[in-house]
Each structure stands twice: as structure tokens, then as C-alpha cells.
Structure 1
Amino acid sequence: MDVVRETDIKITRRDSDTLLRQALSFPEEALTMLTYQATDKTVNLSFSKEFLSAHELTRLIEMLRVKELISKSQMTDDDTSLLDNELKENWWRENQERFLAKIK
């Protein structure tokens, strides 16, 4: 039995539109087997496990968490771009030798 644990889910910084498209790419027939119950503050979804693998379920949960985080974010587009550039620069500084060694 596949179990998705809270600790298995890692949120990464990705383009939210891309993440939404990926997370919602489960089979069309799953939508017809979907039931939900909505209250003023929550929505409970129910669908058959046969329509989503553990990986797809994780992607759906990640998408919902990213959407929630984005909705609460105080960052401007400029702040986001600066952070993105800083992360890329730091990553390259830490990994450039390993990559360049492979092409020399």
C-alpha cells in the first residue's frame, strides 16, 4: 500500500502555472469519480486510489501547498526575481566544478 507521509512531501520553488498543469495531469476519468464536500472553510475531496499513483498524489498535494504559500506571500515580482537569481548563482558556485570537470 502506498502511503504519502507529510515528511515525504518537499516543496520546491517552481513556476506555479507549470506546477498546476503538472499536478492536474491525472486521468480525465478520475474527474468523474471525484466527490467533494465543501464547507465555509474547508473542502474534502474523495476519489479512487486507482486513478492516482503515490507520485501523482504527492504532486497534487505539493501544488495545493504551493498555491497556499503563494497566496500568503508578501513578495513582489521583483523580490521573487532577485531571490531566483540569488539561488541560481549560489547553486552554480557550489556545482560548477563538478559540471565543468565532465566537459573538459
Structure 2
Amino acid sequence: MPTIQDKRLLPIIETLNQEPANKLTIEQWSLKVGASSRTLNRLFNQNYGMGFSKWQQKLRILKSLELLNSNTPLIDIAFELGYESTSAFITGFKKQLGCPPKKYLAK
């Protein structure tokens, strides 16, 4: 990930890197960091080429790959990343990477 200097994005990025299960919405973050949700989405687009929601999904997938590679059980990964269930995690993973986690690891 590129280094972000914008003080409005830093708390969001740092928090979600440490707590990927954090469920704050862009609107809730906007109140915390003092910028509108539109401004935050624009900043995510400028810095990452995608809006907040898509960035958060990508972050969770990257974190899931780390956990999968360390042989963490799927249920633990789903919980740690904030998914409601293992099947929700698998569905999100397939949407992002085109196959389920076990198949991805086998490649």
C-alpha cells in the first residue's frame, strides 16, 4: 500500500489494519476524522484508486491471505475479519479472487 500522508485517512487506515473487523461506516468515520464521507471517498480514490468500501474489502482479503497461509481455520478468519459467518467470508473471498479459499491455497 502507498504511504498515506493525509491526516484524515491515517486513523481509518491504521485502525482497520489493526482491527479489520471494525464495522464503522464511512459516515461514522467522517464524524470521527472531521471530513465528509464524500471527501473521504474522494481521498480513498485518489490514494488507492477505489472508494472506501472497496478498499476495506481488499484489505480484508489481504488479511485473509495472511491468515490462510498461517493455517488459521476458516471460522477464525471469518470472525477476525468481521464476517457474520464462514459462508459469508467464503462468498466474499470468491467475489474478490474468483474461487473459494481452499482452492486458492491449492494453486
TM-score where L is the length of structure 1: 0.28
RCO higher in structure (CA 8 A, sep ≥6): 1
Bigger Rg, which one = 1
Give the TM-score, by structure 2 length: 0.28
Q: Which has the higher helix share?
A: 2
